[in-house]
Structure 1
């Protein structure tokens, strides 16, 4: 395993997915953090297959693989038949319009009795901070897999510095 390449990949993930999404939430941009988390989940899934980073027609597979391997059973259950992929990742990425079957909220405006990844009045509740915590835990799990050589390294085209991130 190329240790330097592994560290570059982990640093890219840490800076883009952990730091930038965390900053969106700290600044109160919860809606945009959901868009970015959907994309991040899919991108994390690319590290779990042997295909190139930009492989075509892998979006739903990578999103699902990421949820299943990195984020756990609760996410696996709500993504049955690509349900969460269609309503979160696809709908927000392509239209910026949230699905009516999702209740996107932050802890500060979380309805009484609403719990992250549970249904309330036929809508799946997604709490931005809880989902972010789970995403960060998924990143950490992937870092361990990278360190143990359990996943293939990808060619990340730009470093965080090249993207203007410090």
Structure 2
């Protein structure tokens, strides 16, 4: 793929890459850096892309690889450098109060999932990757994606069932 074609594909995918970087890092400035590093690496290696249709998955793989390498290099462990879900942007103009409340609840539950499950949920349910594409992006077997999604669905279903119980004095 030519650098010009690759730049066009990258520009089409930037918002999606940034969203995934936010899922991984939970910090806007880190997400910006991840996306920038992804763009640089993709442009440096544009000769590796032969299938234009799979370029977006290639970008996601690069981003994920950079994130994993950063984690290893900095020895970042769970709980460090994360922001509270309430600090993330919710599109205020497009959601009603109830929708914003529901969005916040869903995001809190998804963000509480272990990182591996959260990544699988994002790639498959938000980005629309197939199980195989998500497995290739994360460099894991397809069965691992399937089990991570199943575990995430069970956790979210339990959270929903317990969270949906009416409080004392509320109607059922």
Instruction: Give yes or no for TM over 0.5.
Output: no
Choose 1 or 2 for highest CA Rg. 2
TM-score (norm 2): 0.28
Greater RCO, CA 8 A, separation 6+: 1
Decide which structure has greater helix share.
2
Please give the TM-score of this superposition, normalised by the length of structure 1. 0.29
